[in-house]
Structures are given as structure tokens and as C-alpha cells.
Amino acid sequence: MPSRSKPPADEDRTPPGRVSRHIQPLGPRVLVRVIKSPDRSESGLFLPAGAKDSHSEALLAEVVEVARTMPKPTFVVDGDDDDDEPKADLGENVSGIPVGAQVLFAKDQGITVPWDDSLRILGVRHVLAIVDIISEDHLQ
């Protein structure tokens, strides 16, 4: 009869240390971080979470990553042949929405990232608007 090896015991497995994750959206998608709305109205009234959520139809978020073309290594040429090193190339933004832009989208759109409730993967077609913040000094 062939001998079977026992699976490793739970105590033999070392838990992973602190990890960092990078999400790269594919296709026409962006990764956004939802910006929490203030707890008070403009008039100073406190708004409980249920009241804020029931009245809002759209959420404001900041784009933290976009879909990109496949990166290609590029080399920096400075005249010295000894130290030409590859330059980081993340690929070209194909989403049409710049990283760092603030966008509006319907609150029921997007897929929530399992390990961070403030992150959502959102299809570009579900972005309703790009929001520009203009100071009062620049308004005419």
C-alpha cells in the first residue's frame, strides 16, 4: 500500500506578514476611493449615516488607478553606456479619465474591493461626471 504524506499541521504554516496590494483595472475600468460626505449639512445640522445615504443618489470619489496598455521597458540614454537603466513605464492610460480626478457615479454602481470598503472598481461608462474644484477667487 502506498504511503500517504500528511498535510502540514496548522502550526507549521507561518501566517503571511503585512502585505501590500496593487489593483490594475482591466478593460474600460477605473479604481476609485469613495470620498466620505461630511457629517453636517451646510447649515450646521448633524446628519446621521442613514439620512445621508437615503438622500444621495450619487457618490463622489477620487480615481486612484486606471486601465492601462501593457507596459514596455524603456531605457534612459544619457550618453554613458555603463549606467543605462530601464525606466518605469506603467503603460498608457486607456480609460480616458486621469488619475487623481474626482468623479461622480451612481451609488449602486461598481464592485467593492473585498479588503477595503472605500475602494470600488467602476466601469468608465458608469462615471457620470468629472468634478473640477474651482476656488471662489477664480469665479467671475
Overall domain count for the chain: 1
pLDDT exceeds 60 at position 122: yes
The predicted structure's pLDDT at residue 105: 95
Q: How is residue 4 written as a grid cell?
A: 500517504
Tell me if 18 is assigned to some domain: no
Q: How far apart are CA 88 and CA 58, in angstroms?
A: 36
Tell me if 104 is assigned to some domain: yes
Tell me if 15 is assigned to some domain: no
**Residue 29 contacts by C-beta under 8 Å, 6 or more apart in sequence?**
67, 95, 121, 122, 123, 124
Closest by CA position to 60, among listed 69, 48, 50, 52: 52
Q: Which residue range is the domain that position 62 belongs to?
A: 23-36+46-138
pTM above 0.75, yes or no: no
Tell me if 51 is assigned to some domain: yes
**Residue 125 contacts by C-beta under 8 Å, 6 or more apart in sequence?**
28
Tell me if 97 is assigned to some domain: yes
Q: Domain with 113 in it: what CATH number?
A: 2.30.33.40
Query: What pLDDT, in 10s, does the model give residues 33-53?
Result: 999 876 666 666 666 666 555
Tell me if 3 is assigned to some domain: no
Query: What pLDDT, in 10s, does the model give residues 60-70?
Result: 999 999 988 87
